[in-house]
Chain A
Amino acid sequence: MGVATRHLNRAILSGTEHPPQVALLRAAQPIADPSPRWDTGPVRVLLDQAMARYATDRAAADAWLAPRLHATLRLTRGEAADKGLWAYLALVVAPDYVLWRHIPTGTDESRRAAVVQAARFAGANSVQAFARLWWAAEMFRDGADYRPVEVACSNQDVLNTALRLDIMEHRPTAMAVLRVLQQLTAGGAPRPGDQVNSLCRAIGIAGSTLMYETLGPDQLPDERELLLWIDEADSAPPAPWERLPDGPDDGEVPAASVAALTRLFENINEHLGQLRDRRGVATGV
């Protein structure tokens, strides 16, 4: 990680130079575990496929890539918290993908000066190019079911903010927020992403008096199932491209909890709607 940032300079961030592979490899700490799950080959294949599929809509690659990256890089949360791992991926395995996905597009004028935020290579888990996808998948999956991950990752507003919000650490809350998002999208609401972000902030504020964990309790994940799934990385076939892979079957989010919180969040959202109506403008709060 430290070594990673030391090698980040403007030339690399703008894509005019490649990161110094040899120096980085020398400096990288080898992982002692011989398991094939540390083999970066499958990840590379996945990234090439994503770039091919979403050449015209790069942001849309996130919803496709997040579940598949998660199912390919089978990690515990403890392992995934290591920022060095993600920096290695970004600088050594796939700097081209980071540039492809995050270099600002637009006029030729702005492109010439464009650079990728350094944090997309090495930075917080909510920003780093791969960490944000892996963590989004981890936090929005419903046990083995990655469908909610697709929902969360298809809205950049949600994806960019959600990982920074403490409320999302509670799965029933996260699921309930996605429900509201789906309803808004289905109902043709204008700028549903903005609305959901306002809602998330309001949920956080109401969280100063309400404890969602007791209003909509979750159950502890089944640790053994998770570890088993991670161990299966050795023998698992590569993640499918056309349909969603299966995640670790470590327990579904209790439906009753999601329902209870969805009702609560609908009420909060209704209040926001009334505020918007009353003031005739989007509050942006």
Chain B
Amino acid sequence: MESGEEFGPWLGRQLRRRNMTQAELAAEVKVTRAAVSAWITGRAQPRPETVRQIAEALSTDLGTVYARTTDAVPAHAVQWYHRPAHSDGGREFGNAAAFAFEADLRVLAREATQNSLDERHDPTQPVRVRYTLHELTGEHRRAFLQAMQWESLKSHYAAAAASDQKVGRALVEGLRELEDSETLLLLRVDDYNANGLTGPEYDDGRFAAVVRRQLDSHKVDNRRAGGSYGLGKATLWATSRLGLVLINSTLSVPHEGRTERRLIGRLDLPWREVDGEAYAGPAWLGEPDAARGYEGVSRSWWGIQEETTALHLERESDDPGTSFLVVAVHDAAAVAAGDDGLHAMHEKLVDSLADDFWAAMTDTASVPPLLKASVRTLRNGTELIPETPVSPDQRKPALARALRAYLAGETVDVLGVRTDVALRTVTLNVPPLRAEGKAVGNTAHEAVLLVTPADDQDRTHSEIVCMRGNRMKITTQRPRDLGFGVEPFQAVLLAGFATARDGEDVSRAEAFLRASEPPEHNRWEWTEELSVAYARGAKRRLDEFRASTADALRAVVGNRAVPSAGIATELLRERLRFTQSPVAGRQGTRRSRGYPVVDDVDGEVDSTGAWVLRVRVAVPPSEDAWRLSPVPRLGGGRTGAGAAVRWADLTVTENCSFDGDVLVIAPGVRYAAFTGITDPDTHPVDTGMANIGVDVHKAEEGAKRA
């Protein structure tokens, strides 16, 4: 019986499709029900003559049963199944999580990518994620809506939108957008080299965790090892205006003997009444189930290429992993529409991934990254913005440099040049578990602190990014007392598995730190779990760890304390510090100018070698007229004050008059402009050999044109 699908799962599906029970088949082929059950679960195989009888019972030929590359029983049409409301009449206002989350592509990218990272399949290879924005219009849009059976959903959406809950209002908005605009925007989130949605349809496993569980279970601990698709998955539904996501998964472990194209759709709507029937919560797109207790419920089906293509869910390879298609994706912060809007969303995804996963994406020539990510944008199947690989250096160049230097073993002891990365080890004393008893002592774990000068473009700096696990950022630490005028730096603390080492101390530290995290995984602190699982003093170990980290950092970047004189002297010295130091070429800012200045000069050299200058003078408003001497000055600047030269001609442009060479500006005027032509006979050098500027001084009495 060597051929396509395994016999058991294949037979089980044929029975389901015929609405035939195991007992009915047993009666037809004259075996016990237990025997049929044994075939289906793979514990036994039917004899050849029985196989012939099975073929007859299924009204098919023998070849089909042996080959099992096709189904003997035509599938029940894939359709949407809406969960009926509880019979007690309680109204669930839909799935809070899906709509309570602000639709934010940044959050989506963070949560979905972290899930992919947690679900990495082959630990020697990176998990690859790709985000695809796809805008559909016209025929493409129509064909897609038809493939996902939009018509059958309309009445449910209309009913749900009628509710005046917040959810309903959001839906009204989404529906109107869908009706009014000629476009539909899809966001596909693919991962490859990930585990995929394995496990049974309804019982515990990755599939059920994503597809069947309530989305808003706050008790679910998101971020635990083994990746359980917790709260984070809700962000997928939250970014769909319709609360609708289609899924295609390639499994790393076969289910029903198959791995490719496990398809399902799920939408989440609030309580609604359609054609007199009340519905609450989710609906699923899939094959109607025949199994007892689940009759009519849509279950995942093994699709064919035509289906995945029509649903825009075809995957690029048979590498395991999952594709989520968020239908009518939106971002609450988006302002622009059309091409600008698409570009903005594309950029936001790239930036978000670069911001949150620089560490996982960092590699060296010999060490692969944990994660590779890219973003692309399509319109009606053709590329609008080419695939953009996300680089760890894009947003966090200095941090990525630090990590890369560590992975490549290129760190230094003392920072020399700006690209150097200093390494310090910081000891975390992991206390023994309570269960281990008193005989076991602390385990010393050498965490790694990396420090490097910050990059000019860094927006955040001078803090320690603390990581564990698959280089997941837990918290940031900002040590004090680094001394005056410390240069901006970047620092990473790698603990547990993030050290990229292995061993007893590493796994103990990883477990200890994980236990010290609250459900949000954003701190290392005292937790219930810590006090229950670990021996006394666990909290103190954490405090020591933080203090040693700060000490280590200080040793690298801290400025040496100036030998302290008397406290009075110190205080006085501090007060007398020059707060402002004029740097050559740049003037310190004054609160406001209380005196006239030349605020613009423009001009050119004419054919006689004279400068023709257009000058604007700003004066503070005054009750008296200003009498000023504008002085053209050749060759001023670094090399000296230059030489004052004379005017040959002065012409008023605006707001002033001339009394000889004296510029007179009437009371109350703030700006005056004039044109001046210099006298080349007073230029000590050829006009082309010097720069020129204009000063204004208070006129000395008697200054007249010479």
**Taking the complex as a whole, does A directly touch B, i.e. does some CB pair lie under 8 Å apart?**
yes
Q: Kindly specify which of B442-450, B631-639, B668-676 makes contact with the partner chain.
A: B631-639
Partner of B689 from A166, A198, A206 at Cβ < 8 Å:
A206
CB–CB B681/A275 < 8 A: yes
Judge whether B691 is part of the interface by a CB distance below 8 angstroms: yes
Inter-subunit contact A205/B690 (CB<8 Å):
yes
Q: Which of B637, B682, B686 contacts A208 (CB 8 A)?
A: B637
The verdict on A7 contacting chain B, using a C-beta distance below 8 Å, is: no
- Give A165's nearest chain B residue, CB to CB: B640
**Known: A204-B635, A204-B640. Contact between A283 and B689, CB under 8 A?**
no
CB-defined contacts of B688 to chain A, threshold 8 Å:
209
Whether A268 lies near B685 (C-beta < 8 A) is yes
Given contacts A201-B643, A285-B643, contact A207 B682 (CB under 8 A): no
Instruction: Verify if B621 is at the interface (C-beta below 8 Å from A).
Output: no
Is there an interface contact between A205 and B635, defined as CB atoms closer than 8 Å? yes
Chain B CB within 8 A of A243 CB:
no
Interface residues of B in 595-641 (CB under 8 A from A): 634-640
Which residue of A198, A207, A279 contacts B639 across the interface (Cβ within 8 Å)?
A207
Q: Does A61 contact B (CB under 8 A)?
A: no
Asked if B684 and A209 make an inter-chain contact with CB atoms under 8 angstroms apart, the answer reads no
Count of chain B residues with Cβ under 8 Å from any Cβ of A? 19
Interface residue from B636, B682, B684, B691 paired with A202 (Cβ < 8 Å): B684
The answer to the question of B642 belonging to the interface, with a C-beta cut-off of 8 Å to chain A, is: yes
Q: In the complex, what's the smallest C-beta–C-beta distance from B356 to chain A, in angstroms?
A: 49
Task: Assess the B684–A201 pair: CB atoms within 8 A.
Answer: yes
What chain B residues lie within 8 Å of A165 (beta carbons)?
640
Q: Give chain B nearest CB distance to A11 CB in angstroms.
A: 35
Residues A205 and B681 in contact in the complex (CB < 8 Å), given A271-B686, A285-B643: no
A283–B684 touching, CB < 8 Å: yes
In the assembled complex, the Cα of A32 lies from the Cα of B180 at a distance in Å of: 90
Residue numbers in B under 8 Å from A198 (CB-CB): 684
- Minimal beta-carbon separation of B604 from chain A (angstroms): 15
Known contacts being A205-B635, A208-B637, is A285 close to B682, with CB within 8 Å? yes
Inter-chain CA distance A204–B637, complex, in Å, is 10
Note all chain A residues with C-beta closer than 8 A to B638: 166, 208
Whether the Cβ atoms of B639 and A272 lie closer than 8 Å is: no
Complex Cα gap A98–B682 (Å):
40
The verdict on A167 contacting B639 (CB below 8 Å), with A205-B634, A205-B690, A208-B690 known, is: yes
Least CB separation from B636: chain A residue: A208
B605 to chain A, nearest CB (A): 12
- Shortest CB-to-CB span from A165 to chain B, Å, is 8
Query: Contact check: which of A166, A167, A205, A278 meets B685 at CB < 8 Å?
Result: A205
Interface check A210, CB cutoff 8 A: yes
Task: Pick the contact of B681: A166, A167, A202, A278 (CB < 8 A).
Answer: A278
Asked if A210 contacts B681 (CB within 8 A), the reply is: no
A271: which B residues are within 8 A, CB to CB? 684-686
- Checking B639, B682, B691 against A204 with a beta-carbon cut-off of 8 angstroms, the contacting residue is B639
Residue in A166, A206, A278, A279 whose beta carbon sits within 8 Å of that of B690 in the complex: A206
The closest CB in chain A to the CB of B633 belongs to A205
Residues of the B chain whose Cβ atoms lie less than 8 Å from the Cβ of A206: 635, 685-686, 689-690
Most chain B beta-carbon neighbours within 10 Å: one of A166, A201, A208, A275 = A208
Which A-chain residue is minimally distant from B635 (CB atoms)? A205
Interface flags for B663-706 (1: CB within 8 Å of A; 0: not) read 00000000000000000011111101111000000000000000
Q: Which of A162-208 contact B (CB under 8 A)?
A: 165-167, 198, 201-202, 204-208
Give bound CA distance, A207 to B635, whole Å. 7
Tell me the bound Cα distance from A247 to B685 in angstroms. 36
- Which residues of A sit under 8 angstroms from B642, Cβ to Cβ? 204-205, 208
Q: Chain B's interface: helix, strand, loop or mixed, by majority?
A: loop
Q: How far is the CA of A279 from the CA of B681 in the complex (A)?
A: 8
A residues in contact with B636, CB < 8 Å: 208
Q: How distant is the Cα of A208 from the Cα of B682 in the complex, in angstroms?
A: 17
List A contacts of B686 (CB < 8 A).
206, 268, 271
Please tell me if the beta carbons of A209 and B682 are within 8 angstroms of each other in the complex.
no
Q: Which residue of B lies closest to A285 (CB)?
A: B684
A273→B418 CA distance, assembly (Å) = 54
Identify which of A166, A207, A210, A272 gathers the most chain B CB atoms within 10 Å of its CB: A207
Asked if B640 and A275 make an inter-chain contact with CB atoms under 8 angstroms apart, the answer reads no
Looking at A205, A210, A272, which has the most chain B CB atoms within 10 Å of its CB? Answer: A205
Contacts of B685 in A (CB 8 A): 202, 205-206, 268, 271
* B603: min CB distance to chain A, Å: 15
Chain B residues with CB under 8 Å of A204's CB are: 635, 639-640, 642
- Docked Cα-Cα span, A272 to B643, in Å, equals 13
Q: For residue A202, which residues in chain B have a CB less than 8 angstroms away from its CB?
A: 643, 684-685
Chain A neighbourhood of B684, CB < 8 A: 198, 201-202, 205, 271-272, 275, 283, 285
User: With A and B bound together, what is the CA distance between A283 and B639 in angstroms?
Assistant: 21
User: What string of 1s and 0s marks CB contacts (under 8 Å) between A264-285 and chain B?
Assistant: 0000100110010011000101
Residues of A within 8 Å of B689, CB to CB, are 205-206, 209-210, 268
Q: Is the CB of B691 within 8 A of A209?
A: yes
**CA of A201 to CA of B684 in the docked complex: distance in angstroms?**
8
Q: Chain A residues with Cβ under 8 A from B634's Cβ?
A: 205, 208
CA distance A167 to B640 in the complex (A): 9
Tell me the complex Cα distance, A210–B688, Å. 10
Please indicate the chain B residues that have their CB under 8 angstroms from the CB of A278 in the complex. 681
The residues of B that contact A167 with a CB separation of less than 8 Å are: 639
A233-285 residues at the B interface, CB under 8 angstroms: 268, 271-272, 275, 278-279, 283, 285
CB distance from B334 to the nearest CB of A (A): 52
- Complex Cα gap A140–B690 (Å): 26
Tell me the minimal C-beta distance from B636 to chain A in angstroms.
Answer: 7
Bound-state CA distance A198–B638 (Å) is: 19
Nearest CB on A from B280, distance (A):
81
Distance of A207 Cα from B686 Cα, bound (Å): 12
Decide if A166 touches B691 in the complex (CB within 8 Å): no
Give min CB distance, B610 to chain A, whole Å: 14
**Residues of A contacting B643 with CB < 8 Å?**
201-202, 205, 285
A283 vs B634: C-alpha distance when bound (angstroms): 15
Residues of B contacting A208 in the complex (Cβ-Cβ under 8 angstroms): 634-639, 642, 690-691
Chain A min CB distance to B151 (Å): 78
Assembled-state Cα–Cα distance A209/B642 (Å) = 12
Does A166 lie within 8 Å of B682, measured CB to CB?
no
Given contacts A209-B691, A271-B685, contact A166 B635 (CB under 8 A): no
Chain B proximity of A195: nearest CB distance (Å) = 12
Nearest CB of chain B from residue A200's CB, rounded to whole Å: 10
- Chain B residues within 8 Å of A209, by CB: 635, 688-691
Kindly state the separation between the CA atoms of A283 and B643 in the bound complex, as whole angstroms. Answer: 12
Chain B residues whose CB sits within 8 angstroms of the CB of A207 once the complex forms: 635, 639
Query: For residue B683, which residues in chain A have a CB less than 8 angstroms away from its CB?
Result: 275
Residues of B within 8 A of A279 (CB): 681
Complex Cα distance, B22 from A141, in Å, reads 112
Bound CA–CA A272/B690 (angstroms):
14
Cα(A210)–Cα(B685), bound, Å: 12
A6 to chain B, nearest CB (A): 22
Chain A 203-220 interface 0/1 with B at a Cβ cutoff of 8 Å (1 = within): 011111110000000000
Q: What would 13 A/B residue contacts be, using CB atoms closer than 8 Å?
A: A165-B640, A166-B639, A166-B640, A202-B684, A205-B635, A205-B639, A205-B684, A206-B635, A206-B686, A208-B637, A268-B685, A278-B681, A285-B682
The list of the 3 closest CB pairs from A to B, nearest first, reads A205-B635, A208-B635, A207-B639
Known: A205-B685, A207-B635, A268-B689. 20 other contacts (CB 8 A): A198-B684, A204-B635, A204-B642, A205-B635, A205-B642, A205-B643, A205-B684, A206-B686, A206-B690, A208-B637, A208-B638, A208-B639, A208-B691, A209-B688, A209-B690, A210-B689, A271-B684, A272-B684, A275-B681, A285-B682
Q: Which residues of B contact A (CB under 8 A)?
A: 634-640, 642-643, 681-686, 688-691
- Write the residues of chain A forming the contact surface with B, with a CB cutoff of 8 angstroms: 165-167, 198, 201-202, 204-210, 268, 271-272, 275, 278-279, 283, 285
